Amino acid sequence: MIDWIKHLPAIIVVLPLLVAVIAALLPARFGWVLALLATAGSALASVVMMTDFMTRWAGFRMSYHLGGWAPPWGIEFSVDHATALVIMVISGLGFVATMSSKSLFANEISSDDLGRVYGAWLLTFGGLLGLVMTADAFNLFVFFEISSLASVTLVAMGGGYDKRALIAAFNYLIIGAIGATFYVIGVGFCYAMTGTLNMLDLAVRLPEVNDQIPVYIGLAFMVTGVMVKAAIFPMHFWLPPSYGHAPMAVTTLLAAVATKASLYILVRVLMTIFGGIDTLPQLILQWVLIPLSLMAILLGTILAIYERDAKLMLAQSSIAQIGYIVLGFGMGSLAGLQAGFIHIANHAMIKGGMFIGLGGLAMAVAGKTKLNDLAGVGRRMPFTATGFLICGLSLIGLPLTAGFISKLYLITAVIEAGYWQIVAIVLFSSALSVIYLWRLIEVMWFTPSNSGDGRLPEQVMIYAPLWILALANIWFGISASTITEMSYGAAQVLMGGMT
């Protein structure tokens, strides 16, 4: 291995956190450039790291000891196939979201605030990356707090023009704090029983005390806390309002990456930390997560159909999509975990693109996102709307898009596990999802516009990032092997424990 590659895990996380401080201190006009550079740096480093991982066997693990303190005493950053994939998704989507953010912020946030906003933006971004990277259960809590406090600030920035954003941000803050507290209580129980905080160490030591009640209590607290963070039904209620009322750029960032990190933590907690304990994590997967994910899939889809505001519609659909990911994980099999990871990657591209596109379309009609306001914008803004449409078709799983690959692998995993009833539910809800997308298409293209028929101005910094994601959706829908193989490696790592 080339020497500098081993420093990549630290660079990826520390770079955005450091630049966050600089961005907050320097004049506002530097905010976007700094954020762009920091996210680009992390994304580039992730690409290098993932390329390295693609050539390695699935058990390979990269360990970085912060400050040179060896684990289990020091804090360790640990990267394996699962980590590398999720890091790639978060940093890549974070970069694309940052590209589009300047134009999207233009109408919503006063330019004087941009320095601080980008400070919080980078803290969110770096916090999420740290969350995924760290192998220390308590350090994970710290990153939880960094990212969620920063993202609450970002959501609250919507309060400048939409007071509902303040309520949503407050709820987000409280619920997020409860989730994090539950998690840290759980960690406390485990620490009390084993005397260690390192995840790998926990994985080894927990099975030794698996007849003790506190271990189960610790597991319950940790899992519940992470489920709140990951917006898994029925702990999802904070998500639609915060996505729906936050500034569009913030929604883009959060929808694309925020819950993905928590979903990853969920499966890590269950399969890695508690993976050595027989049957209990499997029982949680099968009897808790599968039923809840099915509720999420159906409820999210149905609520999206009845939603009359496009932004909230997409937020509701996120609940259902999170359900698909959790369902894959819930299968507890190699194929199921693979399907879950594939959809983590693909859904990030899909929703990121859709929110950027919606933001671009909404800007042309004074920032409104009600369906009626969007009448005819598809014809009037062809570049933005077509990119949005491609991501939308990927959302419903049209073949030749990434969404289809997700669906194919998920269905395969579920059929393989023999759950025919669940296949029926998944397919039924994915057919229902066509309805809400179709409502958008009919409004945007085939409904007479409210204000003339001329072309509306389109911003290149919105449709360029949008098209990057739209083309990625097509590329990974045809040549899916990059994602499917990385996900397969990730699934193997989790099935085999973190050894």
Where on the chain is the footprint of another protein (CB under 8 A)? Answer: 393, 397-400, 404-405, 407-408, 411-412, 415-416, 423-424, 427-428, 430-431, 434, 438, 442, 446, 478-481, 484-485
Q: H or E element: which one contains 63?
A: strand 62-65
Q: Which residues contact 242 (CB under 8 A, 6 or more apart)?
A: 155, 168, 169, 171, 172, 254
Q: Which is nearer to another protein, 186 or 376 (CB)?
A: 376
CA Rg value for the chain: 21
Which residue number, 458 or 485, has a Cβ lying nearer to another protein? 485
Secondary structure in 3-state letters for 430-484: HHHHHHHHHHHHHHHHHCCCCCCCCCCCCCHHHHHHHHHHHHHHHHHHHCCHHHH
Cβ closest to another protein, residue 133 vs residue 313: 313
Nearest distance in Å: CB 417, another protein: 11
Q: How far is the CB of 48 from another protein (least distance, A)?
A: 23
Q: How far is the CB of 11 from another protein (least distance, A)?
A: 31
Which is nearer to another protein, 44 or 434 (by Cβ)?
434
CB atoms within 10 A of CB 421: 9
For residue 113, give both structure tokens.
């605030």
The Cβ of residue 216 has, within 10 Å, a number of other Cβ atoms equal to 15
Residue number, 69 or 428, with CB nearest to another protein: 428
Q: How would you class 116 by CB atoms within 10 Å of its CB: exposed for 0-12, middle for 13-18, buried for 19 or more?
A: middle
Give the SS3 label for residue 236.
Answer: coil
Considering beta carbons, is residue 67 or 418 the nearer one to another protein? 418
Nearest to 190 by CA among 212, 215, 154, 170: 215
Find the distance separating the first CA and the last CA of the chain, reported in whole Å.
20
Q: Positive or negative, the Cα torsion across 319, 322, 324, 327?
A: negative
In the bound state with another protein, the residue whose beta carbon lies nearer, of 10 and 423, is 423
Q: 3-state DSSP call for residue 80?
A: coil
DSSP-derived secondary structure for 256-323:
IIIHHHHHHHHHHIIIIISTTSSSHHHHHIIIIIHHHHHHHHHHHHHHHHH--BHHHHHHHHHHHHHH
**Contact partners, residue 112, CB within 8 Å, separation at least 6:** 28
Q: Which is nearer to another protein, 339 or 361 (CB)?
A: 339
| Amino acid of residue 239 | L
Query: In whole angstroms, how close is the CB of 427 to another protein at the nearest point?
Result: 4
Nearer to another protein, 66 or 411 (CB): 411
CA–CA–CA angle 340, 40, 152 (5° rounding): 65
Q: Least CB distance from residue 462 to another protein, whole Å?
A: 22
**Closest separation in Å from C-beta 341 to another protein:** 13
Q: How far is the CB of 227 from another protein (least distance, A)?
A: 29
Give the separation between CA 138 and CA 372, rounded to whole angstroms.
48
Q: How far is the CB of 313 from another protein (least distance, A)?
A: 18
Q: What is d(CA 85, CA 344) in angstroms, rounded to the nearest whole number?
A: 9
Q: Least distance from C-beta 419 to another protein, angstroms?
A: 12
Min dist CB 421 to another protein, Å, is 12
Residue number with CB closer to another protein (318 or 484): 484
Compare residues 259 and 430 and give the one whose CB is closer to another protein: 430
Give yes or no for a contact between 35 and 120, defined as CB atoms under 8 angstroms apart. no
Distance in Å, CB of 334 to another protein, minimum: 13
Classified as helix, coil or strand, 246 is coil
Amino acid at 176: G
The CB-of-365 to another protein minimum distance in angstroms stands at 21
Half-sphere exposure of 492 (CA within 13 A, CB side): 14
Residue 258 or 374 having the CB closest to another protein = 374
CA 88, 294, 300 angle in degrees (round to 5)? 75
204 vs 423, beta carbon nearer another protein: 423
- Distance in Å, CB of 379 to another protein, minimum: 10
